A and B are shown apart, each in its own frame.
Chain A
């Protein structure tokens, strides 16, 4: 069964600290993996997208890694800010030919990050 598991479920850190969020997946065949940031009451916003051949991708203070062999990804946030408080969702796509369906996107439940002053 295609699944995306994220850990931890929630995390509290102090402003300025770094943190790493984890994503393990059992999706096959694999096409790409995306990390989204979702603020409370808002839609998800894309942070990074990685294909099978990419093992790291950065977007400002966000750095995502991908190990396609172990089917693991991480999202590292550097020098956290209060505005980083949000849910971070890992989404895995299972094939490249979408054919009009988004049913191949498998969403994790997200990690709720709280950055405290």
Chain B
């Protein structure tokens, strides 16, 4: 089945620095990728949707200048948390979807990245 790889699985960074998280679809072309944030004991909250080659669409309340998303190829999307602060500490998860009508049109999630800002 479809596999989505997310790296790193854990990262600790200092306040004020930037962190990049990668999301790769390993065996299919992901025309659309999604980024979520999940706080303890809470649901996944959609942050943004990105289509390959175009600008990401951010959900209300998500700062696009703080959470930079790049989807330059059909197999890779990156989320960069800029000038991270302790309140950005969370579990970040990506998911990927293949083209309409393809076997990979469903939503496949990455394994998540635990970000801790100290």
Residue positions of A touching B, CB distance < 8 A:
34, 36, 41-46, 49, 89, 98, 100-103, 105, 107-110, 112
Contact = CB atoms under 8 A, between A and B. Distances in A.
A43 B109 contact: yes
Interface string B28-59: 00001010000001111010010100000101
Contacts of B6: 43
Main secondary structure of the interface of B (DSSP, over half): strand
Contacts of A100: 32, 49, 51, 57
Interface of B: 4, 6, 32, 34, 41-44, 46, 49, 51, 57, 59, 91, 93, 95, 97, 100, 106-112, 114
Majority SS of interface residues in chain A? loop
A99 to B, nearest CB: 9
B49 A103 contact: yes
Contacts of A109: 41-43
Contacts of A43: 4, 6, 93, 95, 109-112
B109 A101 contact: no
Contacts of B111: 42-43
B107 A101 contact: no
Given A100-B51, A102-B95, A103-B49, A42 B112 contact: yes
Contacts of A98: 32, 97, 100
A87 to B, nearest CB: 9
B114 to A, nearest CB: 6
